[in-house]
Chains A and B, each alone.
Chain A
Amino acid sequence: MNEPPAHPTPMIETHDVVKVYADGKVRALDGVDLTVGPGEFVAVTGPSGCGKSTLLGLLAALDTPDSGTIRVGSHDLVRLQDSDRFRRQAVGLVFQLHNLLPRLTVLENVEIAMMGSDRPRGDRAGHAARLLEGVGLGAMADRRPPQLSGGERQRVAVARALANDPPLLLADEPTGSLDSRSVATVLALFEGLRADRGVTVVLVTHDGDVAAAADRIIPMLDGRVVGA
C-alpha cells in the first residue's frame, strides 16, 4: 500500500523542498521529496506541526518554497507566473473548515469559483447544479450554508473545488470536524472522484482511519516525508 505506482509523468513531483518560518527559526519543511501519480488517492499523515498543511499550501501555490522544486502536472510552481490561474484551473481545494460564504446559496457558493474562469457565464449555474447533484445535494441548491449539516457543507466545498474540473484535488483535514457518518460519505466521494473522473486526490489528515481510505499513505515527521 505504501509503494508509489510507476507512472511516466507524475501529477506531483517535489524535490528537496524547504520552507522556513520566523526568520529561519522554524523549519516547517526540511527537504521534502514526493511523487504522486495521476489518478492516485494519497493521504499525507503525521502529527500536528509536522508540515502536512504547509506542504499542501505549496502544492496549491498558496505559498512558495524557500528552496527545492515543485511540479504539478505541467506547472513548475517555483517559476509560476500566474498562481491565480493555476489555482483556478489546475487544483481544487477543500479545507477543514468548509469556508463557504454564509450569505450565498449553496449553488452560488459553487458558482463563485467559476467567476473569472473560461466557462461561459450562461453555463455556470447549470454546471454548479450538476456538481451538486454529483455530491448528492441537488435538492439543496437554494439553501444557505447555515441550513446544512457539517457533512453537507463539506460536500458543497468538494463541489466548489471541482467547479473548474481540476485534475488535482487537495484536501486539508476535510473530515476533521465531521461525525463518522459524514466522514464516510466524504471519503466515498473522494474515492468516487478518483475512480470515475481520474482526479488525483491528496488528502492531509492526522487520523489514521481516514488515511486508510487512500491508495497510499505518505507519513511525515518534523518537516520530512518518512518511510513512504
Chain B
Amino acid sequence: MTLFTLAVGNLRAKKARSAGIAFAVALAVMTVVTLSVVSSGLEQAAAAVLTIGKADFTVAQKGVSDIIYSSLDDRQVAAVQESPGVESAVGVLVETERIDAANPLFIEIGIQPGDLSAFGVSVIAGRAYGADAADEVMLGWQAARDLGLHVGDRFRANGTTNTVVGIYSTGISYGDLGAMFPLPAIQAYNRVPGSVTLVFVKVASGYSVVKVQAALESAHPELTTIRTASEFGRADRNIVFLRAAVTGSTILALLIGAIIVGNTMLLSLFERTREFGLLRAIGWSRGRVVTLVVSESLLLAVLGSSLGVALSYLVTFALESLPQLHGVLHASFSEGALLRGLVVGMGMAVLGSLYPAIRAASLTPVKALSHE
C-alpha cells in the first residue's frame, strides 16, 4: 500500500463527494479553456491579416481600439517607404463586410494592382483589376470556391455589383478567403480617400528588421510596428482588453473553484476527524497527513481537468455551430489554453485543499479520537 493507493481508496470510498469536487473542477477548467480558445481564435483571426502580405513587419496607427480602424495617410506611407532599410512598403486598406450568413466577416482588401506582386499575390486565373476600375474585383481562390464564383461572374460587395476579373492566391488561407479591390474604389466607398489601414514592409537585405522597426517607431511615434502575432496587442487594444478579460476570468474561476473545493474538503475533514486523529496517534507526521489530503485533491483535479477539457471541446463545438456565431468564432485549442486549464485545475486543488489539510494535520490526536 502506498500513499497514492491509499488516496485513491479514500476517494472511491466517497464516490458522490469525489464526483462533486471533480465536477466543480471540470466546470472551472471548462470555462477557462473555452474562454482561452475562443479568445485565442479571435486573436489569431484578427492577427491573420498581418500574415497576408508576407512582410517582415507591418506598420499601423498606434493606440487604435481595433486594427481595422488604423489609418495612415499618403504622407505617412511615403515616409515609411523612405525610411532607411525599407525595400518596399505596400499600403493597403482592409475592411470586413457581411456577404451572407456563411460569411459574416468577409475580408476585403484595397490594393493598387502595381503592388500585388510585392504583396505576394499571384493571379492564377483571369487578370488583375485596373488601377482605376470602379466595379472590378479579384477573389481569393478559396473564396471563389466557397461562393461558387468564376471569372466573369458578378459579385455584390463594397457597395456595388462587381465583375470578377481574376482569381488570386496569396498562399495564406486567410487572404485566399477574401477579395481584392482597386485601392481608390475601396477608399471611395469608405469615404477615406488617400488613407490606408496598414503598410506592409519588406526590409532590404543587409538590414536588421528589428533595427529598422526601432528606427521607424523612433522617427514616427504616432505609428507602431508589428512583427509577430504576439505583438498584435501593440496596435489592437481590443486584444489587450480581451486578454485582460480572459486573465480576470481565469483568476475568478480559480478562486471560486478553490472555495468550492475547500468547502467540500472541510466537510470531508469533519467527517474524517477520527481517522486523522488515529493516523497522528500511530505516528503519521503532519506533513504526511497534509500530503495525503492534498494528494486526494490533486487526483480529483487531474480527473476534473480532463473532464473539463473534454467539456470545453463540446461547448466550443456547440458555440461554433450557433447561427449567431457561425463564421465569427474560430476556436483554437492551443497548448497555452490547455496549460491554463491545467494550472487552474491544479491551482484549485492545491489552494482549496491546503487549509483543510493543515487543519487536519493540526488536530490534537486525543481530541480527534474522541470526536463523535
Residues of A within 8 A of B (CB): 57, 60, 62-63, 84-89, 93, 95, 99, 101, 103-104, 108, 111-113, 115-117, 121, 124-125, 160-161, 163-164
User: Do B282 and A88 have beta carbons less than 8 Å apart?
Assistant: yes
Interface residues of B in 283-316 (CB under 8 A from A): 283-286, 288
Kindly list chain B residues whose C-beta atoms are within 8 Å of the C-beta of A89. 283
Asked, given contacts A112-B6, A124-B1, A125-B1, whether A84 binds B366 with beta carbons under 8 Å apart, the answer is no
B175 within 8 A of A: no
Docked complex Cα distance between A205 and B65 (Å): 81
B278 within 8 A of A: yes
B10 within 8 A of A: yes
Asked, given contacts A87-B282, A125-B1, whether A99 binds B364 with beta carbons under 8 Å apart, the answer is no
Q: With contacts defined as CB atoms under 8 Å apart, how many contacts are there between chain A and chain B in the complex? A: 61
Kindly list chain A residues whose C-beta atoms are within 8 Å of the C-beta of B275. 101
B114 within 8 A of A: no
Set B10, B274, B282: member contacting A113, Cβ < 8 A: B282
User: Do A103 and B286 have beta carbons less than 8 Å apart?
Assistant: no
Docked complex Cα distance between A63 and B6 (Å): 27
Min Cβ gap A163→B in Å is: 8
User: Do B281 and A60 have beta carbons less than 8 Å apart?
Assistant: yes
Residues of B within 8 A of A (CB): 1-3, 6, 9-10, 13, 274-275, 278-286, 288, 364-366, 369
User: Do A99 and B1 have beta carbons less than 8 Å apart?
Assistant: no
Not counting A62-B365, A95-B369, a sample of 5 additional A-B residue pairs whose C-beta atoms are within 8 angstroms of each other reads A88-B282, A99-B278, A99-B281, A101-B278, A115-B1
Chain B contact residues: over half helix, strand or loop, or mixed? helix
Docked complex Cα distance between A164 and B284 (Å): 12
User: Do A99 and B274 have beta carbons less than 8 Å apart?
Assistant: yes
Chain B's closest residue to A102 (CB) is: B13
User: Do A63 and B364 have beta carbons less than 8 Å apart?
Assistant: yes
User: Do A104 and B283 have beta carbons less than 8 Å apart?
Assistant: no
Kindly list chain B residues whose C-beta atoms are within 8 Å of the C-beta of A85. 283, 285
Set B283, B285, B369: member contacting A99, Cβ < 8 A: B369
Kindly list chain B residues whose C-beta atoms are within 8 Å of the C-beta of A86. 283
Asked, given contacts A62-B365, A125-B1, whether A93 binds B281 with beta carbons under 8 Å apart, the answer is yes
Docked complex Cα distance between A171 and B365 (Å): 15
Min Cβ gap B358→A in Å is: 15
Min Cβ gap A142→B in Å is: 13
User: Do B1 and A93 have beta carbons less than 8 Å apart?
Assistant: no
User: Do B3 and A115 have beta carbons less than 8 Å apart?
Assistant: yes
Min Cβ gap B292→A in Å is: 9
Set B1, B2, B13, B283: member contacting A88, Cβ < 8 A: B283
Kindly list chain A residues whose C-beta atoms are within 8 Å of the C-beta of B3. 115
User: Do B282 and A112 have beta carbons less than 8 Å apart?
Assistant: yes
Set A63, A84, A95, A161: member contacting B285, Cβ < 8 A: A84
Nearest first, the 10 closest Cβ-Cβ pairs linking A and B are A88-B283, A87-B283, A103-B13, A84-B285, A113-B282, A99-B278, A62-B365, A62-B366, A111-B1, A57-B366
Asked, given contacts A62-B366, A103-B9, A103-B13, whether A160 binds B282 with beta carbons under 8 Å apart, the answer is yes
Kindly list chain B residues whose C-beta atoms are within 8 Å of the C-beta of A87. 281-283
Set B2, B9, B282: member contacting A93, Cβ < 8 A: B282
Docked complex Cα distance between A27 and B12 (Å): 44
Kindly list chain A residues whose C-beta atoms are within 8 Å of the C-beta of B13. 103
Min Cβ gap A208→B in Å is: 25
Min Cβ gap B113→A in Å is: 77
Can you list 26 residue pairs at the A/B interface with Cβ under 8 Å?
Answer: A62-B364, A62-B365, A84-B280, A84-B284, A84-B285, A86-B283, A87-B281, A87-B282, A89-B283, A93-B281, A95-B369, A99-B274, A101-B275, A103-B9, A104-B9, A112-B279, A112-B282, A115-B1, A115-B3, A115-B288, A116-B283, A116-B284, A116-B285, A116-B288, A121-B2, A163-B282
